[in-house]
Amino acid sequence: MTYRAHIAGALVFGAGLCYLEERAGIAWNPIIVAAGSILGGLLPDIDIPRSFIGSRVKWLSKRIHKRFGHRTLTHSLLFLAAMTMLFGMLDYNLGLSVGVGVLSHIVLDILTPGARGVALFYPVSKKRVYPRIRKRRR
């Protein structure tokens, strides 16, 4: 999936976060939600050195790719929780925004046809999660 599609998906999830925060009476800043969700939507592909974000931190991206491969650690619930908490230490709303961005990325990668899903429960399990659609017999 392209980085543009991940940005679009992250903004949709970010809009959902705005709605939920509004309903809960939590003050939110549209700039923080947009920036945070876009960052979160791009971060998981740091495991590909040629990706939009990986090409900007190639030294780190190459190490992550070599050690973990693609769609493992950075596409897991552990990474989602870690990024939410890490950015949440800077700002509560930024943490939630990055979290929904990472969540949007993981959901879109799971749903990408033919891409064989993500290791959602890494490092507990390396099994990839993706929808298994059976063809009907006629």
Quick one: 16 or 69, whose CB is closer to Zn ion? 69
How far apart CA 107 and CA 84 sit, in angstroms, is 16
CB of 60 to Zn ion, least distance (A): 16
Burial class (CB in 10 A: 0-12, 13-18, 19+), 130: middle
Please report how close the Cβ of residue 99 comes to Zn ion at its closest, in angstroms: 16
Nearer to Zn ion, 14 or 117 (CB): 117
CB nearer Zn ion, residue 81 or residue 111: 111
Question: SS in 3 state form for 22-81?
Answer: HHHCCCCCHHHHHHHHHHHHHHHHHHCCCCCCHHHCHHHHHHHHHHHCCCCHHHCHHHHH
| Shortest distance in whole angstroms from residue 45 CB to Zn ion | 4
Question: Is the CB of 12 or the CB of 21 nearer to Zn ion?
Answer: 12
Q: Which positions touch Zn ion (CB under 5 A)?
A: 44-45, 109
CA–CA separation, 134 and 41 (whole Å): 30
CA angle 74, 49, 57 (to 5 degrees): 85
Residue 90 CB, shortest distance to Zn ion, in Å, is 24
